[in-house]
A and B are shown apart, each in its own frame.
Chain A
Amino acid sequence: MISVDDVKKLAVLGRLSLTDEEITKLQGEIESIVAYVDVIQKVPLPETSNTSTHLDLENVMREDENPHEAGKYTEALLVQAPRREGDYVKVKKVLG
């Protein structure tokens, strides 16, 4: 069972502001989706089954060095920021 409180907690985790109407709707929808995916509880899984997804892939590292000269992409990226100050993204204060 998914309660209204559960939905509110999930909205906090998902960083979503929801209306009461959305919360009611999501409660029913998430409940029916969870009821559907719950079928996996019935599948017998071997004790030793792998929990790694792509066993044939290996980590790929690059050298620990600067991949490009500083500032090369700054303008291209910052131009998309909603608010900026110089070469910084401007945000509201993080600590209260």
Chain B
Amino acid sequence: MELTDLSVKELGEGYRAKTFSVVDVAKAHLVRIEKENPVLNAYLEVFDDVIAEAERAEKILADKGAGAHLLTGIPIAVKDNILIQGKRVSAASKMLENYVATYDATAITHLKNAGAFFLGRTNMDEFAMGSSTEHSAYGVTKNPHDITRVPGGSSGGSASAVAAHLAPIALGSETCGSIRQPVSLCGLVGLKPTYGEVSRSGLIAMGSSLDQIGPIARTVHDAKLVFDTIRGQDSLDGTTLPNQGETRVSNKRIGVPREFVKDAQPDVRENFEKTLDTLRSKGYEIVDIEFPSAPYGLAAYYIVMPAEVSTNLARLDGVRYGLSYEGKNLLDEYEQSRARGFGAETKRRVMLGAYVLSSGYYDAYYKRATALRSVIAEDLAKAFADVSFIATPTTPGPAFKIGEKSDPVSMYLEDIFAAPANLTGIPAISVPMNMVVRDGVSLPVGVQFMSPKRTESSLFDIARDLIGETL
């Protein structure tokens, strides 16, 4: 057993039993990163203070002993859109290539307070826009299960790093599926928290009414530990929810929106049915539910999100910070800086956002999409009056080939099952199902469970029950 194979829980136990040190674990990960990262491109940068930080964590463990936080001495990979003071953070964009974070994201503050430390920043689609990491300005990340395939995205670097054991755990972020889709494609556990559970302070904004930071892990236990550590009300994010204790759903009934899940590939659907059988055998009841608005969620998302993107990215103008091109006049400076700083997908979404918000189209698109969001929330409320969970495959299929989805809409459809949770703010978890085979290679694919707002504890319960993980 190598140190890089251990879960967060096992690392914590090893530290307390003095089987190995934090520095041993840090070094083991650095060695593995040096060997694997040139092929995978999961990390954009490995921090130069990893050993020093490991030594610092070692001292905290020595001082606090068994009472130390369970994340003390745990190395973490961080998506390149989450700010760590003094470190570069680029959102995988040329626009922010040399940008240095001026403060810590609140999630990072929580992890630092727990005694965790950071291995490096991971690759992603530029500004978190994409489902494959192919939109990164710094090259595509490879899927460790098959390096000719994508790891998913936008948190693809974090997923690839955790799947390849280049980190025991990582932070990702979701606007629509950007944690769940890559964990589905890389065979991991990932949580999209309730909107407002985790502070967005220090997360480079994409779609502010949708964005959430969440954990990417190899076990449910580890995902829960990170979530419990980073969540909580924050004066720096007015949308964070007041603290309350763990809330659970009232029964073990799972709703399946049959009409919606028929869009998954045949062997994924077969796998999904087997997963439902497993849950039945573990005391869950499966019922069919109506979710008529679900198939429209992704279309509503591709109106709301670009509108928020075009607004949020307006601040990147070549004047305040980031890439700057000295133009003939101020307008030219904006236009030239943005033309040079943004990649193709970012430009597409800025333009699309301008379109759906422009006078004459606002009512037909943005206003209607926002109303549709409420209809989806009402459909969910009706469903959750009877069932505690809604289950679907996380993604329509397993990892696709690099370059396979060159048409934007075909890429967008990767997140068809993800959209309802982001649009309505409910939590959702993805856990691995059985593998499926493509071109003779076994590839992972996930199942997702959604539940009412603030019932993450129940999502961890059902995830553990499904994969047979004990506490």
List chain A positions with a Cβ less than 8 A from chain B: 2, 6-7, 10-11, 13-18, 22, 26, 29-30, 32-34, 36-41, 43, 45-46, 49-57, 59-60, 62, 73, 76-77, 80-83, 89, 91-94
Contacts and interface: CB of A to CB of B under 8 A. Distances in A.
Q: Which secondary structure dominates chain A's binding surface?
A: loop
Contacts of A34: 352, 355
A69 to B, nearest CB: 16
Interface stretch (B36-44, B62-70, B120-128, B294-302): B294-302
Interface string B361-383: 00011011111111100000000
Nearest to B334: A15
B408 A32 contact: yes
Given A15-B335, A49-B375, A92-B330, A54 B195 contact: yes
B375 A82 contact: no
Given A29-B348, A37-B302, A53-B209, A92 B317 contact: no
A30 B321 contact: no
Given A39-B299, A43-B372, A22 B347 contact: yes
A45 B330 contact: no
A28 B207 CA distance: 24
Interface in B262-305: 293, 296, 299-300, 302-303
A55 B355 CA distance: 26
Interface of B: 99-100, 102, 195-196, 209, 235, 238-239, 293, 296, 299-300, 302-303, 310, 314, 317-322, 324, 327, 329-336, 338-339, 342, 344, 347-348, 350-356, 358, 364-365, 367-375, 407-409, 412, 425, 453
A80 B99 contact: yes
Given A14-B310, A82-B319, A40 B372 contact: yes
Contacts of A77: 102, 321
A20 B375 CA distance: 41
B364 A15 contact: no
Nearest to B321: A80
A50 B423 CA distance: 14
Contacts of A60: 238-239
Nearest to A73: B102
Given A14-B347, A82-B319, A33 B374 contact: no
B342 A16 contact: yes
Contacts of B371: 45, 49-51
Contact of A39 (B296, B333, B338): B296
Instruction: Pick the most buried of B331, B332, B354: most chain A CB atoms within 10 A of its CB.
Output: B354
A40 B355 contact: no
B302 A41 contact: no
Instruction: Pick the most buried of A11, A82, A83: most chain B CB atoms within 10 A of its CB.
Output: A82
B351 A30 contact: yes
Contact of A92 (B299, B333, B335, B352): B333
